[in-house]
Amino acid sequence: MNVCERFDRVAENNDDIAIENPTGEDKSYRRLRRESGYVAALLRDEGVEATDRIALHLPNDPAYLSVVLGIWRVGAIAVPIDGRWDADVTDHVVADLEPEMAITTDEYAEKLRVQTSDDTLTDVPLEQICIGADGDLGLSTVERPSFEIEKQLDEDIAKVVYTSGTTGVPKGVIHTHRNVTASTQMSIDVFDITASDGYLAAVSLARSPGIYGSALPVLCTGGSVVVQSDWDAEQWARLVEEYEPRLSLLKPEQVREAIDDERAAEYDTSSMETCLVTTGLLRAQSTFNDFRDIYGIENVINYYGQTESLAVSMARLSEDSRPNCIGEPVSVVETKLVDLDSRRELPPGNEGELLLRGDVVTPGYWNRNNEASELFTDGWLRTEDVIYQDEDGCLYFRNRLDNRRDD
């Protein structure tokens, strides 16, 4: 199912606030849907079809959601370009992806040219949209929106996310519509998200946890999203006081900055019930205690996953949390441990490599069928994480396989 179908069920003829914009006008669901329709009309006018790749180089702005939804509306594939990449990485991604179009802004188009070689973008049309000071999305060449949703099956590709390349050449991880909708529904269920809930988006919407794990689940239930364009701990706390969201998601380094910022601690953050912490463990118990005590957040949850598997497990961090515990597997994945040498399945109480399969697990990499075959063993994704599982089913992170080989 196309992700946009789920969104449209909530958004059509809905004048409730979808986006609360700290720097401009709020956006209703009707307006957000209309903007995504304008993006879809632009793409269709340019001849974009289902399965075409659209590169995105945009600020962390509410308009990002309009653009991604518009891309999915026509059945095309969204591919974020990270502004932190150097020219070699960006050149590789563009060459590997062969996008039909790159959507950016005037400011970000110049940044994109700087972080690519002279001839990399020669054959890639740059569609430079205008994001107004009030957060309005300007598409002057489009007369009317196109609301038609291109039919997409579960295995059809919604997004390709390139890894950072820190351990080699960046690879494009495929996320299907099934992956996106399963991750979205899982978050709705786990966090009991309703139309009365608000979410503060402090992690970039270009990152998978930032959009699948939080923004989309809230928008698919009729809640509201506050987008923090640039990270600042004091601003985060001020936005919590002003908009009173129930949910937020932070990276571990953002948590540490919030602890160290005395100005941020002066704001009333009592509305915040749950804060997810992505892709890392708050290993020091004192770090959790400080964050909880300063901001009064009842549920701080470690959100463990990979680009290849979105969400795997979640653990509520509390005073009696066990060191390195990453929680129990979520409902949309199956897990098993295998011996590092014999590859035989291990019962609880042992340490081995974690293998996964399920609705949030990628089917493979873009243009890398050989590596995809190495990624899977009999249909199970190899995480290359060494994990211990206790008798209660809880998972504990021990190491990366690469690190063990280097020891």
* Domain-wise residue ranges, the chain: 3-180, 231-406
Mean pLDDT, range 60-86, rounded to an integer: 90
pLDDT of residue 375: 85
Containing H/E element for 95?
A: helix 87-97
CB atoms near residue 397 (< 10 Å): 20
Task: Assign domain 231-406 one CATH number from 3.40.50.12780, 3.40.50.1010, 3.20.20.70, 3.40.50.2300.
Answer: 3.40.50.12780
pLDDT of residue 136: 57
Q: Evaluate if residue 87 carries a pLDDT over 80.
A: no
pLDDT of residue 407: 43
Bridge partners (DSSP) of residue 198 are 224
Give the model confidence (pLDDT) of 327-336 as tens digits: 888 889 999 9
The overall pTM is greater than 0.85? yes
Mean pLDDT of the chain: 86
Mean pLDDT, range 11-28, rounded to an integer: 93
Measure Cα distances from 232 to 40, 79, 87, 263, 361 in Å: 33, 26, 27, 11, 32
Q: Evaluate if residue 222 carries a pLDDT over 60.
A: yes
Give the model confidence (pLDDT) of 297-355 as tens digits: 988 888 888 889 887 877 666 555 666 778 888 889 999 999 999 999 999 999 999 99
Same fold, 3-180 and 231-406: yes
Task: State how far the Cα of 244 lies from the Cα of 200, in Å rounded to an integer.
Answer: 9
pLDDT of residue 107: 78
* Angle subtended at Cα 252 by Cα 247 and Cα 258, rounded to the nearest 5 degrees: 70
What would the 3-class secondary structure string for 50-92 be? CCCEEEEECCCCHHHHHHHHHHHHCCCEEEECCCCCCHHHHHH
Q: What contacts 95, CB < 8 A, 6 or more positions away?
A: 120
Mean pLDDT, range 254-277, rounded to an integer: 94
Task: State how far the Cα of 109 lies from the Cα of 127, in Å rounded to an integer.
Answer: 9
Mean pLDDT, range 50-64, rounded to an integer: 89
Task: Assign domain 3-180 one CATH number from 1.20.1420.30, 3.40.50.12780, 3.40.50.300, 2.60.120.10.
Answer: 3.40.50.12780
What region does 285 belong to: left with phi over 0, alpha with psi -120 to 50, or beta?
Answer: alpha
Structural contact between residues 177 and 156, judged by C-beta atoms closer than 8 angstroms: yes
Q: Which of 75-84, 140-149, 172-181 is the least confident region?
A: 140-149
- Helices 3-11 and 62-73 meet at what angle, rounded to 10? 120
Whose CA is closest to 61, among 140, 164, 136, 158? 136
Mean pLDDT, range 193-209, rounded to an integer: 92
Q: Max CA-CA distance within the chain? A: 63
Structural contact between residues 359 and 179, judged by C-beta atoms closer than 8 angstroms: yes
Mean pLDDT, range 211-224, rounded to an integer: 93
Phi then psi for residue 10, to 5 deg, are -90, -40
Q: Which of 36-45, 100-109, 143-152, 368-377 is the least confident region?
A: 368-377
Query: Exposed, middle or buried, 212 (CB in 10 Å: 0-12/13-18/19+)?
Result: buried
* Angle subtended at Cα 69 by Cα 64 and Cα 74, rounded to the nearest 5 degrees: 130
